[in-house]
Amino acid sequence: MLVLLGFVACTGNVEGGSEGEGEGEGEGEGEGEGEGEGEGEGEGEGEDPCACDSSATCDPGCACDPDCAAAETSCRVEIAPDSGSTATTFTAEIESNGDYCRATFDGAELGATDCAPEPVPFLGADVGVGVHHVTLFVDDGPGGPTQCSDSFTVTQTTSCSVLINPQEGTTATPFAAELESNGAACRAGLDGSDLGPIGCAADAVPFLGSDVGLGEHLVTLWVDEGPSGPAQCDSTFTVREAE
């Protein structure tokens, strides 16, 4: 539309000059030149149809303004990684070219914040299990207020525990093995041999030192399926000859 207006304005200049020259020829050469120049200059000095108010927001009508891009308010929130466990270290980055910013976490107001602070590290355990949302509100920016957000997911860390009690005894000593995990599929092992599937939260298993023989032994728990993936843990105990 602006281009069309400019074209019309330019066409008007040409027609105005022609009329001035025509009248000048009829009434006298000096008068014709005066009228032609007057009308041509008047049209040429009118408002440029492509001009744009630099204070205007960056809309299509302002595309020819070189300062237009500076009128946009930037806003960025990035949480990395986008998923992890309670043991995962996350990093929150927020950035804006605004003058006044504030943030919310899961809808709860955190208050004013620097619009371009240093990245903030935190553990998944600090915020708890679930899907979380961080939102940045830019209340005062070069292009007006705006907001942006990012989300991330925290899952429970796969737990794994092996406890042998006592850790040392004789062939006559009653031992107890406690193997526990929050996983869904677990296996037990003794001295590297796979003993097969067990309950991930099984009761303590009693046994005598003579059941496993003399020496140091290794009990292993493999968690094949857990909230944050597979896990493995182990513990040792020693059996000596009875006195």
Average per-residue pLDDT in the chain? 80
pLDDT tens string 83-129: 999 999 999 999 999 999 999 999 999 999 999 999 999 999 999 99
CA dist., res. 226 & res. 15, Å (int): 84
The arithmetic mean of pLDDT across residues 187-209, rounded, is 93
Candidates 121, 120, 122, 123; CA nearest to 87 is 123
**Homologous superfamily, domain 161-240:** Immunoglobulins (2.60.40.10)
**Contact of 84 with 155, CB cutoff 8 Å:** yes
pLDDT at res. 22: 40
Which residue carries 């303004």 as its tokens? 65
CATH topology of domain 70-155: Immunoglobulin-like (2.60.40)
Residue-wise pLDDT tens digits, 13-33:
333 443 444 443 444 444 444
- Domain residues of the chain, as ranges? 2-51, 70-155, 161-240
Rounded-to-integer distance, Cα 157 and Cα 135, Å: 26
DSSP 116: S
Q: Which position has the token pair 């944050």? A: 228
Per CATH, 70-155 and 161-240 having the same topology is answered yes
Over the stretch 50-77, which tens digit does the pLDDT of each residue have?
A: 455 544 455 555 555 555 555 799 999 9
Residue type, 22: G
Q: And the tokens for 176? A: 């107890």
Provide the pLDDT for residue 26.
40
Nearest to 20 by CA among 12, 31, 7: 31
Please report, to the nearest 10 degrees, the dihedral formed by the alpha carbons of residues 222, 227, 228, 230 taken in order. 20
